[in-house]
Structure 1
Amino acid sequence: MEDEKIESSKNNKKMEDEKRTEHKRKRYSLEDLISLAEEIKDKDLREKVIEFLKNPFPTHRDIESTNVPLEDSPASIRWHHKYKGGLIEHTLATTKIALKIADALEEVYNLNINKDVLIAGGLLHDIMKPFNYVEDIEGEKYDHIPKFHLDHLTLVVAELYKRNFPIEVIKVVASHHGEYGSMKPDSIEGWILHYADTIDAFLNDIAIKICQARAKDIGINEIEIYNLFTPLKIYEIRTREGREKLREKLSEIFNIEGEKE
């Protein structure tokens, strides 16, 4: 009888693991960013971007490593993409959204948009964020470094100057916060990058709030959801099937019995 219970427990755990694996969130890597950088036609710019991606550490002697790899870094602490791997997701999505916007504008308005600048700006606009973050002991949460130094935008603009990037790339990165930043975009490419960044950040932020609410509903840490789903996938399920169905699915996946009021 005891052997049967053990075997049943093993089978149940196997089924739960398989269920979770089925929903496993795809984790992107540096190679995904480099693959996108390879689409830059200008050889010199392409090489500069790839070198920056491979070696993002600031060249200033007083900037210390936070030991947060680019591939693990969140894109924020309390807002959009605030989970491990969030920065690389946001970087890829922002760059690809910018290119799609450029395609539409070129087709409708007969424009000639500099996609090399868009790709370079998209891939590098948040690259200094890991140098503002520190990971907790458990490796589950992030916070700002204790002695907070230059913000990520100041750091990246300084580094782009140091590495002799074209002024067009420096300007689109420096202005990617749009009307809320220290400078507004002064080109179509600049505005495209700003709105691509905004679209991805705002959508993810809305989805994060839904994840937080459903995690609270079923009594789990929201990080458990991010390990299996992107927040936008949760948002999609919520939109198509409703809140209660989403809660049921999450309860089943995380093996939560009963409902929490």
Structure 2
Amino acid sequence: MSVSISRRRLLGSSSAALAAAAPFGALLSSPAAAAVSEALKPSFEHPLTQRTVAEMLAMSPVDTARESALVSNAFRVLVDAAEALREPALRNAVLAILKDPVPTVADTDEGKVLAALKAEGLIDAKRNKVFPHVTQKGRPEQPFWSAPGSGYASHHAYPGGLATHCALNVLSAVRLLENYDSVFDCDLDYDAAVSGELLHDLHKPWVFAWQPDGSSRVEKPLAKTGEHHVLSLAESMKRGLPARVVVAQAAAHDHPGTPAGEALVVGWIRAAAIIAGVDPVERGFLAADKKTLPLPRRSEGFVVHLADHDFVLSGPACQWSLPALKKLAASTYGLTSEKDFNSFRNYVFANLSAMRVWALLSTEGEAALAADVARILKA
């Protein structure tokens, strides 16, 4: 089955549906690899500018992300994917979050939420707060496109890393949907899977706020996973997103294919429902006994889970690259303090990506990395 036929089946055959899908459809039309390369690869070949060390050190993480062609093109992939969602209300809700990720869940009685989470065994009994710091009510801590993809020792830990992480995941989710359709004739819910993937890390701009030393905030655990996951689910619930989307989103960190995995997903939904102030059964997030997902279990959450495995390689790639980057920062650019190195790694990773840095190091060595960095930073 061709990609174009799969897209038509997934989005419906009406001209309005196809028109809504046009931006993302154009990006993903056959051959997919050429289209993605066309959209993203120029980010590496033509950086927007070559900065001096002084200019680079003066840039904030948000400035660094704003200037990166890689980040802006990755974020465009996310917006295109959201604009291709079939349901207008869902499309508008997802676009609103991408463009302004305000943590509306923080506007609640934190003490009451904390007590309820403790009573259910969903948060450490010693915790005295649930939410990360909110600098200004009604405003995000930073734009979606400037956030790191994870904690500072993990995957895509650089300004704009969230956009690059999610872009790969969304492209993976779309391809999985098409492949399940092509191989097994499974016509899955495009909107549920793709929006679940788009939303799965929506509160990383809040959880991983940039710190004065150029690093990002350290994440805390919640309901046996990183707090960003539960807070993101709670935000989707509070904003009234459909149950099938929230349940698909919930499976990003584990899947309901085993009793142990499903218990984790159920715990995250329960914790998120407490934070959002909603009944998870009444809203259709859990079965009546609150022990499983709604039955029969749908497949879209598995697509979200499978597509969210970029971290398996990108996490080690980020960590393995650091020794060579520190050596280069000191020997070529004279940067030895931790704060200056954080600025250097943020700038290099935001423009080249940790994945490209590691690919160069692992295939061509330190000289190739130094040459690539020289294209974007003057010694």
The two structures have a TM-score, normalised by structure 2, of 0.54
Separation in 1 of the partners of 2:350 and 2:103?
30
Pairing 1:204–2:314 present: yes
Give the match for residue 265 of structure 2.
Answer: 183
Out of 61, 64, 71, the position equivalent to 1:27 is 71
Give the match for residue 213 of structure 1.
Answer: 323
Give the match for residue 228 of structure 2.
Answer: 152
Separation in 1 of the partners of 2:300 and 2:327?
43
* Cα-to-partner distance string for 1:27-56 (whole Å, 9 max, x where unaligned): 227554222101111222212222232332
Q: CA deviation at 1:91?
A: 1.4
Q: CA deviation at 1:211?
A: 1.6
Separation in 2 of the partners of 1:44 and 1:70?
20
Separation in 2 of the partners of 1:197 and 1:178?
10
Pairing 1:128–2:220 present: no
* Bigger mean CA deviation after superposition, 215-224 or 174-183: 215-224
Pairing 1:234–2:357 present: yes
Give the match for residue 73 of structure 1.
Answer: 147
* Cα-to-partner distance string for 1:197-242 (whole Å, 9 max, x where unaligned): 11x1112113213321321443544335314311222233345xx3
Out of 101, 109, 123, the position equivalent to 2:176 is 101
Out of 58, 68, 87, the position equivalent to 2:103 is 58
Equivalent pair of 1:105/1:111 in contact (CA under 8 Å): yes
* AA partner of residue 318 (structure 2): I
Separation in 1 of the partners of 2:86 and 2:373?
46
Separation in 2 of the partners of 1:40 and 1:26?
24
Q: CA deviation at 1:117?
A: 0.9
Q: CA deviation at 1:153?
A: 1.8
* AA partner of residue 28 (structure 1): S
Alignment identity in percent?
22
Equivalent pair of 1:174/1:183 in contact (CA under 8 Å): yes
Separation in 1 of the partners of 2:308 and 2:228?
15
Separation in 2 of the partners of 1:157 and 1:254?
38
Separation in 1 of the partners of 2:50 and 2:324?
21
Equivalent pair of 1:106/1:113 in contact (CA under 8 Å): yes
Out of 217, 233, 242, the position equivalent to 1:143 is 217
Give the match for residue 118 of structure 2.
Answer: none
Pairing 1:225–2:348 present: yes
Separation in 1 of the partners of 2:250 and 2:84?
22
Out of 246, 249, 254, the position equivalent to 2:368 is 249
Q: What secondary structure sits across from 2:71 in the alignment?
A: coil
Equivalent pair of 2:161/2:350 in contact (CA under 8 Å): no
The two structures have a TM-score, normalised by structure 1, of 0.76
The 1:233–1:160 alpha-carbon spacing in structure 2 relative to 1, beyond 3 Å, is same
* AA partner of residue 360 (structure 2): I
* AA partner of residue 215 (structure 1): L
The 1:112–1:252 alpha-carbon spacing in structure 2 relative to 1, beyond 3 Å, is closer
* Cα-to-partner distance string for 1:136-184 (whole Å, 9 max, x where unaligned): 225x3212379x9x92222222222222111110101112111568217
Separation in 2 of the partners of 1:213 and 1:32?
31
Give the match for residue 6 of structure 1.
Answer: none
Q: What secondary structure sits across from 1:143 in the alignment?
A: coil
* Cα-to-partner distance string for 1:43-91 (whole Å, 9 max, x where unaligned): 2221222223233212232562472321111121120011111111111
Q: What secondary structure sits across from 1:183 in the alignment?
A: helix
* AA partner of residue 93 (structure 2): K
Separation in 2 of the partners of 1:110 and 1:125?
26
Separation in 2 of the partners of 1:226 and 1:129?
18
* AA partner of residue 194 (structure 1): H
Alpha-carbon RMSD across the aligned residues, in angstroms, is: 3.1
* Bigger mean CA deviation after superposition, 201-210 or 117-126: 201-210
Give the match for residue 86 of structure 2.
Answer: 41
Equivalent pair of 1:172/1:190 in contact (CA under 8 Å): yes
